[in-house]
Amino acid sequence: MLGDSKFKIFLDLINNANKDELIWMNGYLNGVVLRSVAPSTVPALNTTPAVNKITIVYGTETGNSKRLAADFASKAKQLHINAKVIGMDQYRLTDLPKEEYLLAVISTQGEGEPPLAAKKFYDHIHHNGFTLNKLKYSVLALGDTSYPLYCKTGEEVDEQLNKLGGVRIAPLQKCDVEYEDDANSWFNNVLQQLSATKEEIPTIEVPVAVAKKTGKQKYTGKILSIINLNDKGSNKETLHIEMEADGVEYQCGDSIGIVPENPAMIINEIIELSGADANKKIVFKNETVTVYELLKSKINVIYLTERLVKQYAEIVGQEIPATRMNLVDLLKIYPVTDAAQFESIIIKMNPISPRLYTIASSPAAHAGEIHILVVKDEYVVDGETRIGLCSGYVGELQTESHQNFFVQPNKRFRLPAQDKDIIMVGPGTGIAAFRSFLAERDATGAIGRNWLFFGEQHFATDFLYQTEIQNWYETGVLTKVNLAFSRDQKEKIYVRHKMLQHAEELYQWLEGGGYFFVCGKKDPMGIDVEKTLLQIIAEQGKKTNEEARKYLEQMEEEGRFEKDVY
Ligand SMILES: Cc1cc2nc3c(=O)[nH]c(=O)nc-3n(C[C@H](O)[C@H](O)[C@H](O)COP(=O)(O)O)c2cc1C
């Protein structure tokens, strides 16, 4: 098959490789070959699969892992493999030792943590104390290379299942935000393995992570203006921030990622409590920095994970409850003995994760600029008001200063063709995405109708982008606007109430091929809006709940029901 010269290079390569490298090359080539087959189709297998029953478990926060798991199950079924697909929160953990073929699709959230719905499963397998002698498995890890702990949960689940006695049938596959191709080639690889006879199924000794890292281009933007959109007397502070960002490409619906720095007050408190020398040089993840720099811009010192608190407890030799805590509080309650002990703790800590903000500007309307909307995130712990790390950091930014960021594309949350109708539900900071959509549609003269639902606490102080919204309504860019100010009357009124008031017309827009978008807080707003939409579809379309769900699923498949909720 290979010409003489290529064959010589090939032989040179394999003759000089050690065992691990050969296994890696084997896995890599397998992936390359499978990727060259049309990735989203069911692969043609040489033999009927010998395995006829598999379980696919997924752990998801925003639905990607679930979508993939469901897609894999339907492909497996076409090959007459009985594939049970189940969320990790629903999975009966006592079934695990009986499991023969298990595929796990799991994302990483927070700071390298499992999704909430996968925590029980994750904790269970980490408690050891049992073996999984029958288990053959493979893990698909979803993640994002912008996060310092890329696909950490998937890596841990893969490793732990192996420790418990499970045998890998295909190597761990890590996937970045554009996960489709890697995910499909992983599943095709799994299917190929299952098509061998049971005895022939190879066991993978070394987890080969063929990770396609897309990497994110970093940009620096100059802050042009920062305006608090709430008026005096409001309970909120919502900052509209404009950045000069020449040459940065993005589309409406995308977000930007910002890595915040820890506030000076907290850094100083930590230094004082630990007795550390702020100027001492220290190595963190192969980089030499001063203790001060490390505390300022490298490590997260807020709301440490349970795992880190446990490590802290081991180092200081004290009993600390399994809970999440700030480094400052740990140092106050369970002090370190000296600066050296402190240094051994901080080099183990997690890097600061970026925070994502939906872009509020449009490339057509705001050339060379990027706008975002950031609400000051205040919460009370033990009677003390605290401010979210990134919103606090952004709140301190000064005009003319420079800020690093990257663009996080959101391919699913896109304006449809210019003649399509769109319904946008975006209370609070959810309005950011729709300011971007409306500005773009205005600037490009799109002819589709636009309907906005916006909500906040008070009309007088919290009507974000009021002038622009009113202007778009007056000029006809906005066909309909419905506002819900929850605290302007005795009973609370939210966007979902407004949707119900206009149920008949809303359903007509959907029936006419309209697109429905929701952006903003996931809980409770995003969840309530989806429930209300289902109710409207059922009542207006005279459908059963099941039929309404199918209708919405169909819209989702057609890209006509999209969420950007957080
Ligand atoms: C708040 C947040 C934190 C995240 N943290 C990480 C992380 O630490 N490491 C990582 O690789 N990906 C991280 N991600 C990216 C997700 O894993 C990625 O978006 C994935 O596709 C989500 O899959 P899911 O919808 O199944 O949850 C994070 C995403 C969000 C929204």
| DSSP sequence for 204-237 | B-S-----------EEEEEEEEEEE-SPTT-S--
> What is the predicted pLDDT for the residue at 535?
98
Give the separation between CA 509 and CA 264, rounded to whole angstroms: 52
> What is the predicted pLDDT for the residue at 514?
98
Give the separation between CA 182 and CA 176, rounded to whole angstroms: 9
Ligand 1 neighbours by CB, cut-off 6 Å: 60-65, 107-112, 115, 142-144, 147, 149-152, 177, 353
Provide block-wise average pLDDT over 10 residues at a time, the chain (566 residues).
Answer: 69 73 61 44 56 93 93 90 94 94 96 93 90 96 92 97 96 94 94 70 50 73 97 96 96 96 96 97 94 96 91 96 93 97 96 94 97 89 79 92 95 96 98 98 97 98 98 98 97 97 98 98 95 98 98 96 94
- Report the separation in Å between the CA atom of 233 and the middle of ligand 1, taken as the mean of its atom positions: 36
Nearest to 221 by CA among 243, 239, 242, 251: 243
Tell the residue number behind the tokens 């740990």, with chain if given.
330
Token readout for 462 is 């919290």
> What is the predicted pLDDT for the residue at 213?
53
Nearest to 280 by CA among 338, 324, 241: 338
> What is the predicted pLDDT for the residue at 200?
54
520: alpha, beta or left? (left if phi > 0; alpha if psi -120 to 50): left
Nearest to 71 by CA among 48, 102, 105: 105
Give the separation between CA 259 and CA 267, rounded to whole angstroms: 17
Residue 524: cis peptide before it, omega within 30 degrees of 0: yes
Report the atom number in ligand 1 closest to the C-alpha of 115.
27
Nearest to 122 by CA among 132, 136, 108: 108
- Report the separation in Å between the CA atom of 144 and the middle of ligand 1, taken as the mean of its atom positions: 6
Nearest to 451 by CA among 472, 428, 468, 430: 472
Residue of minimum CA distance from atom 16 in ligand 1: 143
- Report the separation in Å between the CA atom of 111 and the middle of ligand 1, taken as the mean of its atom positions: 9
Residue of minimum CA distance from atom 18 in ligand 1: 143
**18-to-23, 463, 489 alpha-carbon distances in Å:** 9, 65, 73
- Report the separation in Å between the CA atom of 447 and the middle of ligand 1, taken as the mean of its atom positions: 36
